[in-house]
């Protein structure tokens, strides 16, 4: 029996579907990922997501590999260690591409905004927090923004509600700590020469609670001001290649991977 995906011309058998499900349940379903030193390896897929995004900006990025669509806040890699939001990309920028077992840099040939859509999809991948999607290296979804959605009959209330698990990345936590230190330095005279966190630790370690509390205050304000947005979503027909425990590679749309794994 064949299971056919007419939209992108991908065909997988029921046997392959079963292998994907089994590998996912046993946490042995893998996808290509890139280490900070540029090495390509296979890492375990932890979760597969379907996100509601009708209020998000959807952006198409054109490269020599084709046109791919992302939510504006989704991050793509411009080096093995540096990533930028799709909405901040410009024509002429170079982004990381994964071909076979090596990385290359491809130029952005075009950027355009697309009409809204209801759903986009994503993965949470182990270790390196990135994965290959449609040939490009994109940011992993670390389950940092998951949502409460009221029933449909409650209208659009859902777009204003958020609950969260892991929210902040290290670079964001550092930003709030520095803002807290700036606030503390507004009250001289003892604070005037403590201009960074290293000096704070060396000179006034007893102030750490006040600085941490200030950072928490800034972070909570960021939430209440709705600075947090859906950053991690790619279009459902974009293809990913997964490998089962036996080493069998299977290429299929990320939407279909979600449908298989959520069962």
Ranges 68-72, 150-154, 196-200: which has the least confidence? 150-154
User: Mind giving me the DSSP string for 144-184?
Assistant: --------GGGGGGGGG----SS---HHHHHHHHHHHHHHH
Residue with tokens 């304000």: 221
Asked whether residue 145 carries a pLDDT value surpassing 70, the answer given is: no
pLDDT score for 209: 80
Share of the chain above pLDDT 90, in %: 37
pTM, whole model, 2 decimals? 0.66
User: Mind giving me the DSSP string for 174-198?
Assistant: HHHHHHHHHHHTTS-STTTT--SHH
Ranges 92-106, 154-168, 186-200: which has the least confidence? 154-168
* Mean pLDDT computed over 254-261: 92
Query: Which pLDDT band holds residue 174 (cuts at 50, 70, 90)?
Result: confident
Domains of the chain in sequence order = 2-140+233-262 (2.170.16.10), 170-224 (no CATH)
Q: Average pLDDT over the chain, rounded to whole?
A: 80
């Amino acid at each position: 029996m064949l299971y056919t995906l007419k939209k992108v011309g991908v065909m997988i058998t029921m046997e392959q579907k079963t292998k994907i499900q089994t590998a996912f349940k046993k946490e042995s379903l893998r996808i290509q990922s890139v280490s900070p030193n540029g090495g390509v390896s296979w890492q375990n897929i932890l979760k597969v997501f379907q996100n509601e995004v009708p209020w998000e900006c959807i952006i198409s990025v054109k490269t020599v590999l084709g046109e791919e669509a992302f939510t504006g806040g989704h991050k793509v890699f411009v080096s093995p260690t540096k990533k930028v939001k799709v909405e901040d990309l410009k024509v002429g920028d170079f982004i990381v591409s994964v071909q076979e077992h090596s990385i290359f840099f491809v130029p952005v040939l075009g950027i355009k905004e697309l009409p809204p859509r209801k759903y986009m999809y994503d993965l949470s991948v182990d270790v390196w927090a990135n994965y290959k999607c449609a040939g490009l290296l994109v940011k992993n979804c670390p389950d940092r923004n998951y949502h409460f959605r009221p029933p449909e009959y409650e209208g659009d209330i859902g777009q204003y509600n958020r609950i969260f698990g892991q929210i902040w990345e290290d670079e964001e936590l550092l930003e709030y700590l520095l803002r807290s230190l700036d606030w503390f330095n507004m009250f001289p005279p003892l604070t005037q020469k403590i201009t960074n966190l290293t000096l704070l630790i060396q000179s006034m370690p007893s102030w750490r609670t006040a600085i941490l509390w200030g950072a928490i205050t800034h972070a909570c304000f960021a939430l209440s001001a709705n600075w947090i947005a859906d950053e991690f979503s790619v279009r459902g027909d974009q293809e990913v290649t997964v490998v089962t425990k036996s080493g069998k590679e299977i290429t299929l749309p990320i939407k279909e991977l979600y449908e298989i794994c959520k069962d």
